[in-house]
Structure 1
Amino acid sequence: MNKILYALNGTGSGHITRARELIPYLKKEYEVDILISGCNYIINTKLDIKYRFKGFTFVINDNGKVSYLKSFFYNNIIRFVIDLFRFNIKKYDLVISDFEPISSWSSKLRGVRCIQLSHQASFLSNKIPRTEKKDKLAEFFMNWYSPCEEYIGFHFKEYDKNILGPLLRSKIINAEPKIENYYVVYLWNYNTNYILEVLSKLDQYHFKIFDFNTKEKQNINNCEILPTGDDTFFNAILNCKGVVCGAGFELPAEVLYLKKRLYVIPIGNQYEQACNAEALIRIGIDSYEKLDYNHLKSWLKNDSNSTQDLDISNPKHVIKSINDFMRK
């Protein structure tokens, strides 16, 4: 039986939920070890992790924007290089990297076959929506952060031959959503006090704010502050009226699939999220560059909903693509 290393970036919830869906299928055909770098504050991996690394983490400044300078000094580049060369990648027949740099670079330097399986991989195609001004530095970074010889990208639409629709959690696909009179707010890059300052002015609406720094539930005016947790967050999304969140990929895709209202605020200086926001705008989703009272109030008053139908991926189709690559 061929041996596969499945390596994922642990900083994003979407990388984890995708691994949860795919790995049981992979284990039916291959011997699979799991590597993770970085940590997540909202969900438990629920995976049998064999290798853990610190990875590379972006640092957010007080304005809710990515600070490249702080990120450079926060991350131990020397430790990253040592981990890269010490890791025994040669014992694997194939490496699957979900935007995980140690496995990708180790594969590239040691001549091990590697396939990129991520939303970020879709940026290798020129056909996906982008901002009006292409950020060449950010494009270069995404291309070389986790380089692989082949790729399968995920996006809101199948923009190119190597790009599939979102691979959603089975619990989302099988869910029976309801509409209760509250909005979920998940803006982890913003200070909760600032979020409260803005949302408290919108006192005719009720908000559930998720904050990974909060240990127990708090009620302040029209806002409920909740600690992050997989089941708590899932149930809140399932029964809400709408979601205000960053312009990532997996969470907006789940919200769209559940037919909830969606309002996205891309993280500042984060090119990938700016491009995701552009893609969502093109299919009728509202977005703004920052958390702004007037703009958010306008969206809430509009009370319209997107009826977008997503072309979601099936895990079996993804496994078939991996098998085809193995047979090359």
Structure 2
Amino acid sequence: MGLRILFCLQGEGRGHMTQAIALAGLLRDAGHEVVATLVGHAENGTVPAFLGERLMCPMHAYESPDIKLNADARAINVWRTTLSASRLSLRYLKGIRSIDDHLEAYRPDVMVNFYEPLAGLRRNSTVPMVAIAHQHMFHHSRYPFTAGSRLQRQGILMFTKLTAIRAARLLGLSLYDAPDMPQINLQVVPPILRREFFGLKPRRTEPPYLLVYLWRPELVGEIREWCEERPRSLVHCFLSHPQKKRDDQVLDNLVLHHLDDRLFLEKMAACSGIATTAGFETTAEAMYLGKPLLMVPTHVEQQCNAMDATLLGGGYASGTFDLERLEHFAPRDQSTFKAWVDRAPEIFVQALEEVAAGVPLTDRPPGPTPTHPTRRDGGHRTHPQSPVDGVQKFVQAAT
């Protein structure tokens, strides 16, 4: 008999939603059921309609803390984030009660948390929780978390710990394989991409166009200025916040799109290059397809994604959206990365089945031999040639 699984996710941005959609498909293929999804959203926020359609399960929304950025949307404002959370604390208590009420109503075997902070504060501790996010890699002993200021790093680490309180296992999404850390219940896992993504056939259309994804709509002015200066360059830009119309042709060579997961994938397959704020999922998708990738990180987490992708030769990091750079960047062969991503179905399904059965990470049986040199040490993976070593050298050389 399959597992009953309840999702809880942060409803801001594209990343956590696409992770949930991808994992739901893998679990159904393995005979398990996603019984419901709880979505935490910011004050006055909305949940995209496509999420419920794609997850094919009941949806329940509530208000939850979100990260506040500076006026130029270029960095996290720790004080604004803290003050906002304090002001809305009573509403968040309702959100915590909503999580507990739905855990009681649906009685799942496992709860999966996609970086939703209130899930960590639930009273119900009988349902084991698996916490999934690339931010969990910041707690890895060999990950050089050096981006941003010390205050920003501490803020992200505290927020990340909040999402994982009493988690039975942490699944740290990573662009490369690395040793697990059983002492903190951290298992390193590959990016989880949707089924539809693997059916894409990379190509380029005529006339060619560039694809842009912006986490915050405040950044669209920079894209517009670039397009005004280069009227012969066509750009399709997706925004993570709803627009009045699905397609808004603001210039002859600039089309703004409301976030639509299927349309985004269609445009990605046929574009000549991708520019993004270095969100984890878009970065991983561009690397898998071998598309030229320009990353303009706006905060600490995205700076880490950009560093990793740059090290792996999958993209180019910049401080501005100079889309012309995409014409001169040729990504490195990503065969090792693609092999790592292709292992996601077995790794994720096995991890959730183990947590439901009460199997700790230290007792996890060895998986199949990875495609690059490894050795076994006490039953856990260690990688003398792992990219995480290269990340450390990369940071040392840059500082």
Is the contact made by 1:13 and 1:40 (CA closer than 8 Å) also made in structure 2?
no
Is the contact made by 1:178 and 1:238 (CA closer than 8 Å) also made in structure 2?
yes
- Cα distance, 1:71 vs structure 2: 3.5
Distance in 1 between the 2:237 and 2:175 partners?
Answer: 25
TM-score of the aligned structures, taking structure 2 as reference length: 0.72
Distance in 1 between the 2:47 and 2:117 partners?
Answer: 17
**Which is worse superposed, 13-22 or 273-282?**
13-22
Distance 1:102 1:279, change over 3 A: same
- Cα distance, 1:218 vs structure 2: 0.9
Corresponding residue of 1:154: 173
Corresponding residue of 2:116: 100
Counterparts of 1:306-321 in structure 2, within 5 Å, are 306-309=332-335, 310=337, 311-312=340-341, 313-321=343-351
Tell me how many residue pairs correspond in the alignment.
321
Q: Can you give the 5+ residue segments of structure 2 that lack an aligned partner in the other structure?
A: 181-186, 359-399
Question: 1:302 is aligned with what amino acid?
Answer: H
Distance in 1 between the 2:176 and 2:70 partners?
Answer: 32
Deviations 1:232-272 (A, max 9, x none): 222111100110011110111111111111011111xx221
Is the contact made by 2:174 and 2:188 (CA closer than 8 Å) also made in structure 1?
yes
Corresponding residue of 2:38: 35
Counterparts of 1:1-328 in structure 2, within 5 Å, are 3-26=4-27, 28-29=31-32, 32-38=35-41, 39-40=46-47, 43-46=50-53, 47=55, 48-65=57-74, 66-75=76-85, 76-85=88-97, 87-88=100-101, 89=103, 91-106=107-122, 110-128=125-143, 130-131=145-146, 135-147=153-165, 148-161=167-180, 162-180=187-205, 181-189=208-216, 190-211=218-239, 212-213=242-243, 215=245, 216-218=247-249, 220-267=251-298, 270-284=299-313, 285-291=315-321, 293=322, 296-297=323-324, 299-309=325-335, 310=337, 311-312=340-341, 313-328=343-358
Flag the structure with higher helix content. 2
Q: What is the root-mean-square deviation of aligned Cα atoms in Å?
A: 2.7
Deviations 1:100-120 (A, max 9, x none): 22222205x645421212222
Distance 1:20 1:94, change over 3 A: same
Question: 2:15 is aligned with what amino acid?
Answer: G
Deviations 1:59-97 (A, max 9, x none): 344412333344345452221123214523354443221
Distance in 1 between the 2:254 and 2:4 partners?
Answer: 49
Is the contact made by 1:260 and 1:306 (CA closer than 8 Å) also made in structure 2?
no
Identity rate, percent? 21
Distance in 2 between the 1:186 and 1:31 partners?
Answer: 29
